[in-house]
């Protein structure tokens, strides 16, 4: 069985078999890991965690409901789980719903983050529009409101049902260009994929402990470190300079803890590790599909 299959079998098959409250163990995992306050490539050692999801539609018992805020960690986990419910594929609708929730997270960090969130939202809308256009539901070439796009997106048998079906359909129809920029779903997905890595690495930093001097890095520092790995290599100089302003304007660590309804770092770490692991699985499977079709460097 391939590595992704082993991870899926280990963590998704027994979701409802562990007793509530099972503790998380071990460090956060991923292709990039925070070691001594710097990012390094590490083997994907599975993160052993207990019950992070309940039967479909229920809130994971580990994750608290956060009243009076748009971002809900339990809802993000539900969408992430749904997106990976089709073997070695990624279902696009729940994948984009995961991004809807991640956008709520980003927009909770202040107006400066709109430099990133606005671009992400455009890409989410574009893939939904491509899906509707392909299925003949886009009227007269006009853009539909985002809420209508989300409502109409979830048909079962379409070219844009999953990442694999989208990749195969766009390759078959000659939509993807490997030498110049096009507004294909594959290129758009690649940009979302890179942004997902940025968020995942930032959360890994938030879940990590202090340095040798007992100091925790600020969210701005963690976001900058993650950006240098995930996004900066693909951004022009001007955008990289603008990103520095975003990092300076990010709220303090306590604000991030409040977003997952905890009051201390000790409470936050188990919750963050659950989210990080789900993001790691999603990122790894998407990476694999794009790599199979040589799409990791689309212009």
Look at residue 129 and tell me if it is in a domain.
yes
Handedness of CA 278, 41, 179, 167 (dihedral sign): negative
- 65 pLDDT band (50/70/90 cuts)? confident
Could you tell me what percentage of the chain is helix, strand and coil, using 3-state DSSP and rounding each to the nearest 5? 55, 5, 40
Look at residue 77 and tell me if it is in a domain.
yes
pLDDT of 35 reads 44
| Cα distance between residue 140 and residue 148, in whole Å | 15
Look at residue 171 and tell me if it is in a domain.
yes
Q: Which is higher by pLDDT, 26 or 290?
A: 290
Look at residue 35 and tell me if it is in a domain.
yes
pLDDT of 14 reads 37
pLDDT of 61 reads 56
pLDDT of 155 reads 40
Q: Which is higher by pLDDT, 187 or 146?
A: 187
Look at residue 135 and tell me if it is in a domain.
yes
pLDDT of 47 reads 31
What is the distance of C-alpha 50 from the center of its chain?
A: 21
Q: Which is higher by pLDDT, 184 or 33?
A: 184
Look at residue 175 and tell me if it is in a domain.
yes
Q: Do 77 and 203 touch, CB atoms closer than 8 A?
A: no
Q: What is the crossing angle of helices 265-292 and 3-11, to 10°?
A: 140
Q: Domain span at residue 184?
A: 3-292
Number of domains in the chain: 1
- Whether the pLDDT of residue 242 is over 80: the answer is yes
Q: Cβ of 72: how many Cβ atoms within 10 Å?
A: 21
Look at residue 298 and tell me if it is in a domain.
no
Indicate which CATH number applies to the domain containing 167: 1.10.3520.10
What is the length of the chain?
299
pLDDT of 146 reads 54
Kindly report, residue by residue over 192-212, the tens digit of the pLDDT: 999 999 999 999 999 998 888
Q: What does the mean pLDDT of the chain come to? A: 79
Query: 16-26 in b/e burial notation, b at 16+ Cβ within 10 A?
Result: eeeeeeeebee
Kindly report, residue by residue over 128-167, the tens digit of the pLDDT: 999 988 876 444 444 555 554 444 444 445 889 999 999 9
């Amino acid at each position: 069985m391939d590595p992704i299959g082993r991870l899926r079998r280990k963590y998704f098959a027994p979701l409802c078999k562990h007793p509530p409250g099972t503790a998380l163990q071990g460090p956060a995992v991923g292709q990039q890991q925070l070691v001594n306050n710097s990012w390094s490539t590490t083997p994907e050692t599975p993160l052993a965690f207990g019950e992070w999801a309940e039967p479909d539609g229920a809130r994971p018992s580990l994750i608290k409901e956060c009243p009076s805020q748009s971002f809900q960690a339990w809802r993000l986990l539900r969408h992430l789980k749904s997106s990976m419910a089709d073997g070695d594929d990624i279902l696009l609708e729940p994948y984009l719903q995961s991004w809807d929730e991640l956008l709520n997270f980003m927009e909770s960090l202040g107006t400066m983050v709109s430099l990133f969130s606005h671009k992400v939202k455009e890409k989410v809308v574009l893939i939904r529009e491509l899906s509707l256009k392909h299925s003949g539901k886009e009227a007269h070439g006009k853009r539909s409101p985002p809420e209508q796009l989300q409502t109409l997106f979830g048909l079962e048998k379409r070219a844009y049902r999953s990442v694999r079906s989208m990749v195969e359909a766009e390759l078959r129809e000659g939509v993807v260009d490997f030498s110049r920029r096009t507004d294909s779903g594959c290129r758009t997905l690649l940009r979302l994929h890179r942004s997902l890595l940025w968020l995942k690495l930032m959360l890994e930093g938030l879940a990590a402990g202090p340095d040798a001097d007992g100091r925790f890095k600020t969210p701005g520092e963690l976001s900058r470190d993650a950006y240098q790995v995930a996004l900066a290599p693909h951004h022009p100089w001007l955008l990289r300079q603008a990103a520095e302003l975003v990092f300076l304007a990010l709220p303090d660590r306590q604000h991030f803890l409040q977003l997952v309804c905890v009051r201390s770092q000790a409470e936050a770490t188990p919750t963050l590790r659950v989210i990080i692991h789900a993001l790691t699985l999603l990122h790894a499977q998407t990476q694999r599909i794009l790599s199979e079709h040589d799409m990791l460097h689309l212009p």
